[in-house]
Amino acid sequence: MEAIRKVDQSMLFVSEPNPFMFGNRNNDSSNPTWTNKNWLKSRFHFSFAEYHNRRNSHFGKMRVMNDDLVQPKRGFGAHPHANMEIVTYVVRGKLSHSDDQGNAESLGRHCTQFMSAGRGVVHSEFNASEDEPVRFIQMWFNPRKMNMPTRYGSTQGDPGALQNQWQHLVSDDDSSFRTPVKIGQDINLYVTVLDENKEVDFHLRDDRQAYLLCIEGTVTVSGIDADEELTTAELTQHDASELFGDLHISVRAEAPGSHVLLVEMKKDGSSRFA
């Protein structure tokens, strides 16, 4: 098995659904602030919604990674979830959330939101801005236990904590890590923003695997495995890579403001390339 497998953005399924889905109005073709002709442009990393691919249904315990771009005054109306650990990371703009548990807030760049859907929750996500799109990465993880109590929480973004270093944002409830977000699954999520030519390292243990997403910019990912063999991949915005330990990883920015997200988990060998 290759230690680094590049998932080129051309391999992602791009969804631009009907504007009437989730209660939206017609697309606003006359609004100059819209950056996409459709209210939603979503890149699916794994089989989801209208994209059906049994060979690409998950990566470890990660069931969904959607890269969503929602235009102003549009969003996802009230809809249900159950028995899923959901983590959302806001890239830019502001995402407004409300649910039937009484939670309501708007989250901006670098903010992280989590929702342990458990026994069931109904929520909505909306871009309330008049003139700015919102982009966010939403990830779903299969829970350790079914039908647990519903939980919701969020953390405000801290640019200093992730500049040229990994910020450990999410960890397992059962772990000793002290992170802003804890969920009911063996997952660790890290994020960084790198100045040009800066790099960060990560050791992926032999029993672990990871999924790395280049959110913005361009990076070179290098890995040295246990046999001291070097593998590299260049990733630009929307590219990703599958990583398998034992692996010493270096992520180097080839452009200023390169923005990277890493999800690390127990190795099960799952891969879109299998």
- Rounded to the nearest 10°, the torsion over CA 44, 102, 83, 88 is 30
Give the number of other Cβ atoms within 10 Å of residue 23's Cβ: 14
What domains can be seen in the chain, in order of their start residue? 4-266 (2.60.120.10)
- Cβ atoms within 10 Å, residue 5: 17
pLDDT score, position 146: 97
- Supply the DSSP string of the chain, one letter for each residue: --SEEEE-GGGSEEE---TTGGG-----TT-TT-SSSSSEEEEESSSBTTB--GGGS-BTTEEEEEEEEE-TTEEEEEEEE-S-EEEEEEEES-EEEEETTS-EEEE-TT-EEEEE-TT-EEEEEEE--SS--EEEEEEEE--SSSSPPPEEEEE---HHHHBTS-EEEEEETTS----SEEESSSEEEEEEEE-TT-EEEEEE-TTEEEEEEEEESEEEEEEEETT--EEEEEEETT-EEEEESSEEEEEEESSTTEEEEEEEEE-----TT-
| pLDDT higher than 90, residue 241 | yes
Mean pLDDT of the chain: 97
What whole-number percentage of the chain has pLDDT above 70? 100
Tell me whether residue 81 is annotated as binding: yes
Contact (CB, 8 A) for 249 and 216: no
Please say whether the beta carbons of 87 and 181 come within 8 A: yes
149 token code pair: 């109590």
Q: Output the pLDDT for position 14.
A: 98
Closest CA to 24 of 65, 79, 66: 79
Q: Could you tell me if 245 and 207 are in contact, meaning their C-beta atoms sit under 8 angstroms apart?
A: yes
0.95 exceeded by pTM: yes
- Give the tokens for residue 99: 């649910």
- 97 carries a ligand binding annotation: no
Q: For 71-93, how does the pLDDT look when each residue is reduced to its tens digit (9 = 90+)?
A: 999 999 999 999 999 999 999 99
The arithmetic mean of pLDDT across residues 149-167, rounded, is 97
Q: Which of 1-5, 109-113, 235-239 has the lowest mean pLDDT?
A: 1-5
Cβ neighbour number for residue 210 with a 10 Å cutoff: 24
C-alpha dist (Å) from residue 110 to 6, 78, 122: 25, 24, 24
- pLDDT at site 255: 98
For residues 96-108, give the mean pLDDT.
97
The answer on pLDDT for 253 being more than 80 is yes
pLDDT of residue 2: 85
pLDDT for the residue numbered 246: 96
Residues 6+ away with beta carbon under 8 Å from 176: none
| 203 belongs to an annotated ligand binding site | no
> Span 96-107, mean pLDDT?
97
- Cα radius of gyration (the chain): 18
**pLDDT score, position 250:** 98
pLDDT of residue 202: 98
pLDDT tens digit sequence for 186-221: 999 999 999 999 999 999 999 999 999 999 999 999
Which tokens belong to 52? 């059906």
What's at 222, amino acid-wise?
S
